[in-house]
Amino acid sequence: MKKIIRDESNFDILDLLGWKDITTSKQYKNGTRIFQLPIKKYGQFIEVGSFESGYVRRMNGGYTPYQLNKCEPNVEYWPEYKHTELPDGSWDSKKTGKYTKYEGKKRILIPHEADRIEHLITYCLKNYYINGANEVEDGKYIPKWKHESLIRSTKMACEKYTWSGGQITDNETGSIYVHEQHAYWNKIPNSVQVIVDGHRYNVK
């Protein structure tokens, strides 16, 4: 059995990222390492794996684990066969001497464990930590650009309207929206709704 060498620099990074090593003793003996990220997708923590075969995979989130290795162009030639039905109903297959060309892609294997873990770190940072909003153990994580966008939208909404005495004033148009309870006691049959950025809100 090939001995697994622990790369301390990578494992320091895993600790900082909050990854948990959930490898079983059997997997460890086979040269496999499985890690659990502190990020949830579809209600469960993401798990990724490094395999001695050279593959790296996302272990959950689908019916079967899928490969995270990079791809490269690949061309293969397969022999052509001629199939002939025999009198007894069986079939005879013989090569014609010709070949069929198939163009596609193949996964690039990563032979060393330290390189596989480094690839997993890079892939997960880009796809799970940076891109999009993800749930982590301590709450919600959103990228910086989205956080700043929400702040700008909230600030614009606050500057556009003034809340006072049970009514809302649109600072741009001068329109006044009356709170439903305030309108009831003053018998004003106004509909108490405000549209902000295309979304309709009930004001309470």
Digit-coded pLDDT (tens) for 10-52 = 677 888 888 999 999 999 999 999 999 988 887 889 999 999 9
CB-based contact 145:132 (threshold 8 Å) = no
Digit-coded pLDDT (tens) for 146-202 = 666 666 666 666 566 666 655 667 777 777 666 554 444 444 444 445 555 555 555
Digit-coded pLDDT (tens) for 61-102 = 666 788 999 999 999 999 999 999 888 889 999 999 899 998
pTM confidence score? 0.55
As given in the structure block, the two tokens for residue 110 are 């990563």
- What Cα–Cα distance (Å) separates residue 64 from each residue in 21, 58, 165, 192? 20, 9, 59, 51
How high does pLDDT run on average in the chain?
A: 76
Whole-number Å distance between alpha carbons of 128 and 135? 10
Say yes or no to pLDDT of 134 above 50.
no
**Residue with tokens 């990854």, as numbered in its chain:** 19
Q: Which amino acid is at 69?
A: N
Whole-number Å distance between alpha carbons of 51 and 69? 11
* Residue 192: CB atoms within 10 Å: 20
